[in-house]
Amino acid sequence: MRMAQILFSQGFGSRRACAGLIAAGLVRVAGRVIDDAAAEFEAEGLVFEVEGRAWRYHAKALIVLHKPAGYECSQKPRHHPSVMSLLPAPLRDRGVQPVGRLDEDTTGLLLLTDDGTLIHRLTSPRHHVPKVYEVTARHPVTPGQLQRLREGVLLDDAPAPVRAAAADATGERTLRLVLTEGRYHQVKRMVAAAGNRCEALHRSAFGALTLAQDLEPGQWRWADPRAFGPPR
Protein backbone atom coordinates (compact mmCIF):
# COMPACT_ATOMS: atom_id res chain seq x y z
CA MET A 1 0.00 0.00 0.00
CA ARG A 2 1.27 3.50 -0.77
CA MET A 3 2.46 5.51 2.21
CA ALA A 4 -0.03 8.30 1.56
CA GLN A 5 -2.87 5.76 1.49
CA ILE A 6 -1.66 4.20 4.73
CA LEU A 7 -1.73 7.58 6.48
CA PHE A 8 -5.14 8.37 5.06
CA SER A 9 -6.60 5.02 6.19
CA GLN A 10 -5.29 5.60 9.72
CA GLY A 11 -6.95 8.98 10.13
CA PHE A 12 -4.08 11.40 9.52
CA GLY A 13 -6.18 13.78 7.47
CA SER A 14 -7.29 14.18 3.88
CA ARG A 15 -5.30 12.61 1.05
CA ARG A 16 -3.74 15.99 0.34
CA ALA A 17 -2.85 16.51 4.01
CA CYS A 18 -1.25 13.06 4.18
CA ALA A 19 0.81 13.78 1.08
CA GLY A 20 1.84 17.06 2.69
CA LEU A 21 3.05 15.32 5.85
CA ILE A 22 5.22 13.07 3.71
CA ALA A 23 6.56 15.93 1.56
CA ALA A 24 7.48 17.85 4.71
CA GLY A 25 9.64 14.95 5.94
CA LEU A 26 7.41 14.27 8.94
CA VAL A 27 6.92 10.55 8.29
CA ARG A 28 9.46 7.86 9.15
CA VAL A 29 9.63 4.09 8.87
CA ALA A 30 12.35 2.29 10.85
CA GLY A 31 13.97 5.66 11.50
CA ARG A 32 14.17 6.55 7.79
CA VAL A 33 12.39 9.62 6.47
CA ILE A 34 9.82 8.73 3.81
CA ASP A 35 9.54 11.64 1.38
CA ASP A 36 7.75 9.86 -1.48
CA ALA A 37 3.99 9.61 -1.07
CA ALA A 38 3.92 6.76 -3.60
CA ALA A 39 6.45 4.61 -1.70
CA GLU A 40 4.87 1.22 -1.06
CA PHE A 41 4.93 -0.83 2.14
CA GLU A 42 3.33 -3.97 3.48
CA ALA A 43 0.65 -2.30 5.59
CA GLU A 44 -0.23 -5.13 7.99
CA GLY A 45 1.91 -4.79 11.11
CA LEU A 46 3.72 -1.71 9.83
CA VAL A 47 5.00 0.66 12.52
CA PHE A 48 5.64 4.21 11.35
CA GLU A 49 6.15 7.63 12.88
CA VAL A 50 4.24 10.82 12.15
CA GLU A 51 5.74 13.98 13.62
CA GLY A 52 7.78 11.85 16.01
CA ARG A 53 4.87 9.75 17.29
CA ALA A 54 4.95 6.00 16.68
CA TRP A 55 1.83 4.44 15.18
CA ARG A 56 0.98 0.88 14.18
CA TYR A 57 -1.21 0.18 11.18
CA HIS A 58 -4.59 -1.39 11.98
CA ALA A 59 -7.00 -2.18 9.16
CA LYS A 60 -9.80 -1.80 11.73
CA ALA A 61 -9.41 0.02 15.03
CA LEU A 62 -10.51 -1.56 18.30
CA ILE A 63 -9.75 0.51 21.38
CA VAL A 64 -10.15 -0.11 25.11
CA LEU A 65 -10.66 3.12 27.03
CA HIS A 66 -10.79 3.40 30.81
CA LYS A 67 -13.72 5.79 30.94
CA PRO A 68 -13.63 8.27 33.82
CA ALA A 69 -16.74 9.78 35.37
CA GLY A 70 -17.90 13.07 33.89
CA TYR A 71 -17.75 12.09 30.20
CA GLU A 72 -20.56 11.32 27.77
CA CYS A 73 -20.44 8.47 25.24
CA SER A 74 -21.63 10.73 22.46
CA GLN A 75 -20.19 12.46 19.42
CA LYS A 76 -22.36 15.47 20.33
CA PRO A 77 -22.39 15.69 24.13
CA ARG A 78 -24.97 17.90 25.82
CA HIS A 79 -23.73 18.49 29.36
CA HIS A 80 -20.23 17.00 29.71
CA PRO A 81 -17.17 16.42 27.51
CA SER A 82 -17.28 13.56 25.03
CA VAL A 83 -15.18 10.45 25.58
CA MET A 84 -13.89 11.15 22.07
CA SER A 85 -11.88 14.06 23.48
CA LEU A 86 -9.75 11.49 25.34
CA LEU A 87 -8.53 9.96 22.05
CA PRO A 88 -5.85 11.26 19.67
CA ALA A 89 -7.03 12.99 16.52
CA PRO A 90 -6.25 10.10 14.11
CA LEU A 91 -8.62 7.79 15.98
CA ARG A 92 -11.36 10.41 16.04
CA ASP A 93 -10.86 11.25 12.37
CA ARG A 94 -11.03 7.63 11.20
CA GLY A 95 -14.48 7.36 12.77
CA VAL A 96 -14.22 5.17 15.85
CA GLN A 97 -17.36 5.15 17.98
CA PRO A 98 -18.36 3.62 21.31
CA VAL A 99 -19.65 0.05 21.36
CA GLY A 100 -22.77 0.71 23.41
CA ARG A 101 -22.76 3.43 26.02
CA LEU A 102 -21.86 4.05 29.62
CA ASP A 103 -23.68 6.73 31.58
CA GLU A 104 -21.86 9.99 32.34
CA ASP A 105 -21.24 8.92 35.96
CA THR A 106 -20.31 5.31 35.11
CA THR A 107 -16.64 4.39 34.89
CA GLY A 108 -14.69 1.50 33.46
CA LEU A 109 -14.13 -0.45 30.28
CA LEU A 110 -15.43 1.19 27.12
CA LEU A 111 -14.78 -0.27 23.69
CA LEU A 112 -14.53 1.94 20.61
CA THR A 113 -14.16 0.78 17.02
CA ASP A 114 -14.68 1.76 13.39
CA ASP A 115 -15.75 -1.80 12.52
CA GLY A 116 -19.52 -1.75 12.03
CA THR A 117 -19.75 -5.54 11.79
CA LEU A 118 -18.00 -5.94 15.13
CA ILE A 119 -20.27 -3.34 16.74
CA HIS A 120 -23.30 -5.37 15.64
CA ARG A 121 -21.80 -8.61 16.97
CA LEU A 122 -21.02 -7.09 20.35
CA THR A 123 -24.31 -5.26 20.86
CA SER A 124 -26.84 -7.66 19.33
CA PRO A 125 -28.87 -9.40 22.09
CA ARG A 126 -28.75 -12.70 20.21
CA HIS A 127 -24.98 -12.97 20.65
CA HIS A 128 -25.19 -12.77 24.47
CA VAL A 129 -21.81 -11.08 24.98
CA PRO A 130 -21.37 -10.80 28.77
CA LYS A 131 -20.55 -7.50 30.44
CA VAL A 132 -19.44 -7.35 34.07
CA TYR A 133 -20.42 -4.47 36.35
CA GLU A 134 -19.21 -3.62 39.85
CA VAL A 135 -22.03 -1.93 41.76
CA THR A 136 -21.83 0.13 44.92
CA ALA A 137 -25.29 0.15 46.53
CA ARG A 138 -26.81 2.65 48.94
CA HIS A 139 -28.13 -0.05 51.29
CA PRO A 140 -26.75 -3.42 52.38
CA VAL A 141 -27.08 -6.07 49.69
CA THR A 142 -29.36 -8.91 50.79
CA PRO A 143 -29.65 -12.49 49.54
CA GLY A 144 -33.21 -11.72 48.49
CA GLN A 145 -32.10 -8.86 46.27
CA LEU A 146 -29.49 -11.06 44.61
CA GLN A 147 -32.08 -13.78 44.04
CA ARG A 148 -34.47 -11.30 42.43
CA LEU A 149 -31.71 -10.09 40.11
CA ARG A 150 -30.94 -13.67 39.05
CA GLU A 151 -34.58 -14.68 38.63
CA GLY A 152 -35.56 -11.48 36.83
CA VAL A 153 -37.06 -8.10 37.63
CA LEU A 154 -39.67 -6.15 35.70
CA LEU A 155 -38.58 -3.06 33.77
CA ASP A 156 -41.06 -0.75 32.10
CA ASP A 157 -39.52 -1.19 28.62
CA ALA A 158 -39.29 -5.00 28.71
CA PRO A 159 -42.19 -7.40 28.02
CA ALA A 160 -40.74 -10.05 30.35
CA PRO A 161 -38.59 -10.05 33.49
CA VAL A 162 -34.97 -9.09 32.84
CA ARG A 163 -32.43 -11.44 34.41
CA ALA A 164 -28.79 -11.08 35.33
CA ALA A 165 -26.57 -13.90 34.09
CA ALA A 166 -24.92 -13.69 37.51
CA ALA A 167 -25.36 -11.58 40.64
CA ASP A 168 -23.04 -11.96 43.62
CA ALA A 169 -22.28 -9.86 46.68
CA THR A 170 -18.67 -8.64 46.87
CA GLY A 171 -19.10 -6.72 50.13
CA GLU A 172 -21.78 -5.44 52.47
CA ARG A 173 -22.88 -2.76 49.98
CA THR A 174 -21.23 -3.99 46.78
CA LEU A 175 -22.18 -6.57 44.19
CA ARG A 176 -21.06 -7.86 40.83
CA LEU A 177 -23.59 -8.17 38.01
CA VAL A 178 -23.12 -9.97 34.70
CA LEU A 179 -25.50 -8.93 31.91
CA THR A 180 -25.80 -10.24 28.36
CA GLU A 181 -28.01 -7.49 26.95
CA GLY A 182 -28.02 -3.74 27.09
CA ARG A 183 -30.96 -1.49 27.94
CA TYR A 184 -31.14 2.16 28.92
CA HIS A 185 -29.78 2.56 32.50
CA GLN A 186 -30.26 -1.20 32.83
CA VAL A 187 -28.04 -1.88 35.84
CA LYS A 188 -29.39 1.05 37.84
CA ARG A 189 -33.00 0.14 37.06
CA MET A 190 -32.49 -3.53 37.85
CA VAL A 191 -30.89 -2.74 41.21
CA ALA A 192 -33.76 -0.36 41.99
CA ALA A 193 -36.35 -2.97 40.98
CA ALA A 194 -34.65 -5.47 43.29
CA GLY A 195 -35.09 -3.10 46.24
CA ASN A 196 -31.82 -1.16 46.46
CA ARG A 197 -30.18 1.85 44.81
CA CYS A 198 -27.05 2.13 42.69
CA GLU A 199 -24.68 4.76 44.08
CA ALA A 200 -21.66 4.02 41.84
CA LEU A 201 -21.16 1.83 38.79
CA HIS A 202 -18.01 0.50 37.13
CA ARG A 203 -17.71 -1.88 34.15
CA SER A 204 -14.79 -4.23 34.69
CA ALA A 205 -15.11 -6.58 31.70
CA PHE A 206 -16.66 -6.83 28.25
CA GLY A 207 -16.69 -10.32 26.77
CA ALA A 208 -13.19 -11.77 27.12
CA LEU A 209 -11.62 -8.36 27.73
CA THR A 210 -10.95 -7.27 31.32
CA LEU A 211 -9.95 -3.74 32.24
CA ALA A 212 -6.23 -3.82 32.98
CA GLN A 213 -5.21 -2.53 36.39
CA ASP A 214 -2.43 -0.41 34.90
CA LEU A 215 -4.78 1.42 32.53
CA GLU A 216 -5.55 4.64 34.35
CA PRO A 217 -8.84 6.57 33.97
CA GLY A 218 -8.73 8.49 30.70
CA GLN A 219 -6.08 6.23 29.15
CA TRP A 220 -6.60 3.95 26.14
CA ARG A 221 -4.84 1.14 24.33
CA TRP A 222 -5.31 -1.09 21.30
CA ALA A 223 -7.31 -4.28 21.76
CA ASP A 224 -7.24 -7.46 19.72
CA PRO A 225 -10.59 -8.20 18.01
CA ARG A 226 -9.66 -11.91 18.11
CA ALA A 227 -10.58 -11.78 21.80
CA PHE A 228 -14.21 -12.00 20.64
CA GLY A 229 -13.61 -14.95 18.35
CA PRO A 230 -14.17 -15.21 14.60
CA PRO A 231 -17.19 -13.55 12.97
CA ARG A 232 -20.34 -15.69 13.17
Residues with catalytic roles: 103
**Helix (H) / strand (E) containing 204:** strand 198-206
The number of angstroms, rounded, from the C-alpha of 206 to the middle of its chain's C-alpha atoms is 9
Q: Distance (Å, rounded) from C-alpha 202 to C-alpha 220?
A: 16
Q: How far apart are CA 123 and CA 106, in angstroms?
A: 18
SS (H, E, C) 113-163: ECCHHHHHHHHCHHHCCCEEEEEEECCCCCHHHHHHHHHCECCCCCCCCEC
Rg (CA), the chain: 21
Asked whether 21 and 4 are in contact (CB, 8 A), the reply is no
CA-wise closest residue to 201 among 131, 127, 112: 131
Residue from 158, 163, 182, 168 nearest 106 by CA? 182
The Cα–Cα gap between 51 and 47 comes to 13
